[in-house]
Structure 1
Amino acid sequence: MKCITAALFLLLFGKIACAQTSPLDSLSYLISKATSDTAKINLRNKKIRLLIRENLDSAEQQGLQNLQHAQKIKYAAGQAAARINLASSYSLKGNFKPAREHMDIARKLFLDLKDSLGLSNTYATYGMYFGIQGKYDSSIFNLEKAIGIAERNNYQERLATYYGNIAIGYQMQSNFRQALAYQQKSLDLAVANNDVSNQAYTNLNLGLIYASMKDTLRSRLTLLKAIKLAKKEKIKNVELYAYSNLSNLYSEKKEARKAYNYAIIAARLGREMGDYGIQAASLSKAAGALETQEQFARASALAKQAIALADSSGQSYIIFQAYSRMGSILRGQKQYKTAIYYLEKSVNALENTETYREDVGQTFKDLSYCYEQTGNFNKALSYYKTSAQIADSVLSRDNIREVTELSMTYEFNKQQEAQQLAQKNKDAITRTRQWALGIGLALTFVLAVVSLRAYRNKQKANALLQGQKEEIQNTLTRLKSTQAQLIQSEKMASLGELTAGIAHEIQNPLNFVNNFSEVSAELLDELEEELQKGDTEEALAIAGDIKENLKKIQHHGSRADGIVKAMLQHSRPSSGEKKLININSLIPEYFRLAYNNVQAKNKEFNVTFTTDFDNSLSKIEVNPLELGRVLVNIFNNAFYATQQKKAQLNGQYQPEISVSTYQQNGHVEIKVRDNGTGIPENLKNKIFQPFFTTKPTGQGTGLGLSLAYDIVTKQHGGKLKVETKEGEFVEFIVILPIA
């Protein structure tokens, strides 16, 4: 199983001047000599920031004591700084609730104090807090705030830390160019300030970026350099993460012995620091190295230790790693039933996260294999599909990002080069004219030479621009091809949702047919008995009941037949053929299909549906299937928004969707309104853009409303608009011309 690279966020401490003693000893000495309570609190806060690097439990204990002292003397600045230290300790230990509480209070204190340096540290701590949880967009957002304050106030010492941390967010999003740029800025500042601590952190994270880029040699050398600097500065957490990631490198190189040795060193350091999460992760890696050597007994023992530590850490991904490793070891020993227990526990740990990585997909694949070996083929198929979906999600997401980024960056760079070249030509011509005016006939020969050179440069520039144009065109063609494939996938997904809704609806008449058939069969038995008895009157009564049942069977059979015909109609590719229809008859049909599909997935979901139709509507010429896709996409967005709001309000809320139609100025308008979460004003203009989505990763492609917009505007010559108020409602307005 592939191990995930662990990035280490830089902690917020400054350089401490000391002679031959360690920084911690120097601060302890200064604290003992301090003459005021505020000075002692400030020095203790500095000491705790350093202690976080070595022992989280001690840092937490001393941090709480220092906070109490600051509260006792009502020293607001000292309280805020102490809370930032506690937030850092709690975040690194995976104890996120108290971490958030301390940061929120510190932010308010710094705002009241108008302390911009403290405020930048707070935003940077928010960035670390979100980054550790894998919420990289929020991490980058807060770190950008911290960087803005630091750059405006020239906080050079803090900028190195902020640059390093924001780089981690970009790295984990596979934006390696941006990550490398920020890490290099961090390293340059650390070197300029002779800040060895930040150099150690930055070299560690540079090593992780190189590993992600498959540059194994540079990664190993940079990690070893980080270890050397960390030992010099006695920074245990840098050592710990560097050894843990060296284990990853050697694991991928199939050098199990070295992978095991480095993982064990990392686990020991994690134990010394009180960082149970990384200790558990390192033991999982060591168990994996033993597993590849088929030393299953030792591997199982380490995996059990990892599980106990992971459970106490409370970090979802660490728990997943530990249980998944035990499941993999048992699978290798063909103990499939026991392996299933641990593999199920591992995937359940990720239930409320957004983690869709290759190793998660491999765990689902292992589960599928184990269920197949135990004869449970339904679950085997289900888990195999999930593993395939994760693999496709990772691949498509990476491909889209890569193609889009490369095409945009490439085009921008080439335009810039062309502009620079054109400017050079203009400058050359200007200089040539000035020389000609000033010197005259004596420089005619020089002018001719320069003109010839300019002409050749122009020819070269034209040839270069033509080649660049062709390269850009090829890149854009590939991008359009990728987009077309995704749009087709979205159309098929929309068709699948319609079909699922129809299939759910057809179950109702089929249930009636089955029930009346069973009752009729029983009545026939009774009829036969009465005829044998000679009771003609009772026999006639039973025959009448059978006749009524047959009528009901015929009625519900006709219903099923109609639904099947509708399903066949939906399964056909759109021909683009338009028909004159009354929109009022189309809306309830597609609402029912979309609603049935949602209820098939979530039986507890319900929504109040109301209509206000204009009965005097003119028939309009539309493609019913394509317009149905528009309605289904709008309804699906309404269902999602109302479900989200219901979850936020803990059920104290009733979802409502209303649809109205009316005719004016040669147009028919359809308004679909829901009382869900609404759309933020800053996102309102983006919702019809391809690939833009506010849904979590894996729950939306960002193409549904984009396709709806194209169908309404391009295929039907209409308009699609949206009105919204965040937290209250969204109203989509479809405007279609009357033929």
Structure 2
Amino acid sequence: MPLVVARVLLVLLVLLGLPGRAQHRYWDADYDSLRLVLNRQQTDTTRLRTLVHLLDLTRLDEARERRYALGFLDELLVLNQRVQAFEQAPYRVLRQGAGFWEQGNHNEQALEAVKKAIYLFDQVGRPVPRLLVEVAPLYNRLNQIEERYAFYRDKLAYYRIKGSKENIAACYLSIGGYYRRKGAYNQAISNFLRAAELFRHFDQHYYITELKVAGANYAEWGNSTKALHYLRQSVSLANRYALRGGYGVDAYTLRSISRLYLVQQDTAAARRYATLSLAVRGRASMNEQEDRAYGLVQSGLVLLAMKKGARALPILQEAQRLADSLHLTLMGRRQGEFELTAAWARYYTILGDDGRAEQLWQQAYQEARASKLSVLRKNYLHELSSFYDARNKPGQAQQYSRAYMALADSMSEAQGAYHLAQYEGERMENAQSEQIANLRQAQAVQAVHLHRRNQLLLGALLTIVVVSGLGGLVYWQLRRNKRTLRQLRQTQNQLIASEKWAFVGELSAGIAHELQNPLSFMKKFAEVSSAMLEDMPRQSASSDRLEQEIVAGLKQNLQEISQHGVRASSIIKDMLDHSRAGTGQRAPTNVNSLVEEYLRLAYQGLQSQDKSFRAELVTVLDPALPLVSLVPQDMGRVLLNLFTNAFHAVRQRQRQTDAPYQPTVSIHTRSLPDGTVEIRVGDNGTGMPESVRARVFEPFFTTKSVGEGTGLGLSLSVDIIKAHGGTLQLETQQGQGTEFIVGLPA
């Protein structure tokens, strides 16, 4: 448990990017601990960061981690669709490749998809050393050894120019594997050690791995001293690495030491290390079942070297069972060659079953030949030559001995060619280094030019910003001036209107003063005369008919005089109201309250004249309406006039129709996006024809009966609304209804 806690804490430090060594341990983070951290994370960004880290560490050649990777990639693509943290095309293609890989029989499609994903990662500058290493097993399964070498050679040249040390290390690793299969141990070990030196700076696990691989190759090359040096160094570093949360000694290293001791004929030590390799568990094992199969083969070979065939039999049988279930072949993955067929050949040789032993040695040789493994071909030719020589078959022994010598000579020539190639490679490497230096110098010169250009661009950008700022200031000042000018014109119009109506008021006041008394006398005398006529004695039937007609006419004339006197008084009163429009004091006013108050007054006023009148009132008032600066008495006069007109319209339609009809007056208030407060007063009355609509706002124009209206109500309303900087619009349809729309600036 303490080790698990330490690993989780290390992973958290890496993910959080805290100062210290954790920043340099990205590639050394523990895979299983990262998965535990992922399970505890909730936010999209932290989960996305952890998923990227897990995929950087995933070994697609291992079945369990490949299945995890498919789930991780699916979640990563969904999260990045929401967060848009990075370009997800490389991960989308990698998902396709992992899917082909998982199917098992689509190696070519998997290889092409993974190579394309690496190309896309290169384009965005993201190092993917683990993914580069995973390409090699796919090439191995397709038996494309030369194509594999060409791929890593080209990639190495590209990454050396780009300076991507992580990817360079992965290329050296895989190129070393190519040379090892060719039997060119000098070049193989050189590349493995180059890779180790680079891995040492960023990935402790692969640094240890390449040291052990170099040691294993020294052992195959016959240099036991160097082999033990690197293998023991690998074990020592792995033990220290395990104490810091690393993987510990892996099974491959232990098997390599066992093979080395077996070559030295120290079977006791060889058996001890073979047994230790079978005990390795966890991520230090690439695949526990696969590692076990390799370890069983090595244990069987040690027992066969000790001439203990009976004890080796159950071990080889279990190895065969695992090989069949895991589909293991001679050309393994990164575990080395799986020599189970050769182990069975040795077993039957010890058992004395020459026919079976011969068949298996021939099969082992054909497998090595098909896999293009020169080293094993040479070893198996030597075994076949010895096998036939021991059984007194000189012809066959000489045949395989000659083939062995020819292959050894060709390998020696190839080794010489590789030596030359290595020399040429060093020359090419020096030329490339010079080319890279020249490129970097050119890049430095270009950087200077870019720096100067950026300075010029920055100066131009600052100039544009300053000019834009001045333009914005001018634009803001222009808008402010326009607004001020608009307010001045509004004020000017209000002053002109006030002056006009002040003059009208003075004139009206003079007229009212001069006419009020005569009008009062006219009304009074008309009323007295009407009363006197009413008090006259009733005329008898014999009275003069002409006299009766004269009396009736006098009564009618007196009523007309009284009515026109009342209308004249109303006109004078409305003219005085016009003269006072806009002269009151403005105050922030709740429009909804004003509407409710004057709607009630208008409705009650009409009901006082006609007790039978009823109408449906529909009010939809916006509760979020802002306060409006206005003269409440003036705006109340406007609303009262609009409500009264609406009630008169619905009452007129009610009187004109015999069909079922519900008089309805609706009032809506709302705040528009431009800051305007809108009041809509609608009715379902008679509506207006076009001839009436064209003149409805003219002073003294009315459609009401004589004595019911002066024709100044809407004219007065327009002036009041304009004085407040608002608008009054009309929408009407004859026979359907009318709606007045008042707009006031909040």
TM-score by length of 1: 0.45
State the TM-score, normalizing by the size of structure 2: 0.44
Structure of higher CA gyration radius = 2
